[in-house]
Amino acid sequence: MLKKIRVSDTRPGMYIHEICGSWMDHPFWKKSFLLSEDDEYKTLKTCGVQEVWIDTSKGLDIESASVVSTEAEEKQKIETELLEIAREEPPTVPHVPIQEEIAKARKLHAKSKAAVTSMFKEARMGNAIKVSEAAPLVDEISQSIARNPEAFLNLARLKTKDDYTYLHSVAVCALMIALGKQLGLKGQELKDAGLAGLLHDVGKMMIPDEVLNKPGKLSDDEFNLVKEHPRRGWELLQGSPDITDVALDVCLHHHEKVDGTGYPERISGDLLTLFSRMGAVCDVYDALTSNRCYKNGWEPAETIRKMAEWQDGHFDKSVFHAFVKTIGIYPSGTLVRLKSGRLAIVIEQTEKSLLAPVIKAFFSTKSNEPIMPELIDLSKSQESILSEEDPLKWGFDLKQITGY
């Protein structure tokens, strides 16, 4: 049985099914493991994580009655909250069909990767970031997001372990702009949000590659070194001409949490600006959905549910809700099972409901074989989504199916 408990109630011999929080917040690289009495136990107690899921069928049970929640209770809570978000004001409708924008977005994505790679390599050599060269790129990404946000966002999510650091910055830039639009930001504020997203992780250029790309568990010293990247990036950006206060703020504070348990300054509440709260959500979402050198990314819909589970204390609730409305409860790229038994991939959101996106059905679970692909707008159909599915379970390459 899965139980969520406080870290203070853990003991050696328990089987940790999952740590409640982004893997960026702790040095463990394995999702599940038997908790031993060595440094592993000490690290769990001191790394700042508040709660974990334990599997009592594989390890010791909790001795006291202080269980935070069971799996069924947690699932019902999250589904209820997401349904409440879905009943709120629907997302903004894209102005251009995704099929029309994808070619432009693909060229812009390649251009963005090259530009950010060049800028970050300059930073690695200790040279100042040229904001005047980054600003036009942010404008182009903003224009693509205005035409159809999901075209560029879908491409930005597809990255390899080798180009993660650079494309993560491009993705967070796009997510910050899309979220900013949802929150009503315009003009210079929207540009500032995008630039902040583009530069938020520049401090990672100051971290040795052998630590940043280590394929296994980080030592305490290595983890503490990685946690220095916000301050190192902030120090680097201060020497850049025309750098904005928003970019400096998000660079320094994108790993802070609203309950004050983040880093590097452990600030909380009203001391965190809107932009830093936006940065925290966008950074975590893209990191969790990306393949890393030590861990494969989660599926988009699973990530949204995990973030909803952690949001109390981690994220600003209103910003997180706006983010969900920005990318959907079933984000583009999510594999879903339909009421008819077909499998489909989510293509883009619709005006009517977050629960009724445009999907492409392509596989029958009843006959267990591919079918003629069919594009369906669920807001105009009797068909509906039953659940999200794991592509690995079915052996699908969703990139081939979508053509992105």
Shared-domain flag, residues 311 and 378: no
For residue 3, list its beta bridge partners.
54, 70
Shared-domain flag, residues 122 and 270: yes
**Domain assignment of residue 339, given as a range:** 335-402
Torsion of CA 216, 222, 224, 230, to 10 degrees: -90
Residue 167 has pLDDT above 70, yes or no: yes
Shared-domain flag, residues 314 and 359: no
Domain presence at residue 230? yes
Shared-domain flag, residues 319 and 347: no
Residue 324 tokens read as: 């969900």
Shared-domain flag, residues 152 and 22: no
Domain presence at residue 79? no
Domain presence at residue 84? no
DSSP 208-221: -HHHHT-SSPPPHH
Of 172 and 75, the structure prediction assigns the larger pLDDT to 172
Shared-domain flag, residues 279 and 371: no
Cα–Cα distance between 377 and 216 in angstroms, integer? 43
Domain presence at residue 372? yes
Tell me what pLDDT residue 92 has: 60
Cα–Cα distance between 310 and 54 in angstroms, integer? 16
Shared-domain flag, residues 359 and 265: no
Q: Which residue has the tokens 């180009």?
A: 163
Of 140 and 64, the structure prediction assigns the larger pLDDT to 140
- The pLDDT tens digits of the residues spanning 86-125 come to 777 665 656 788 888 999 999 999 999 999 999 999 898 8
Domain presence at residue 82? no
Q: Which residue has the tokens 């949490």?
A: 257
Residues ≥6 apart with Cβ < 8 Å to 205: 120, 121, 123, 124, 233, 236
Domain presence at residue 118? yes
Tell me what pLDDT residue 160 has: 74
Domain presence at residue 76? no
- The total domain count for the chain is 3
Do residues 378 and 363 make contact, with C-beta atoms less than 8 angstroms apart? no
Q: What is the mean pLDDT of the chain?
A: 88
Shared-domain flag, residues 354 and 295: no
User: Which pTM value belongs to this model?
Assistant: 0.86
Do residues 252 and 265 make contact, with C-beta atoms less than 8 angstroms apart? yes
Do residues 315 and 269 make contact, with C-beta atoms less than 8 angstroms apart? no
Residue 395 has pLDDT above 90, yes or no: no
Cα–Cα distance between 404 and 272 in angstroms, integer? 36
Separation in Å, CA 404 to CA 253, 347, 397, 400: 33, 11, 11, 7
Shared-domain flag, residues 255 and 137: yes
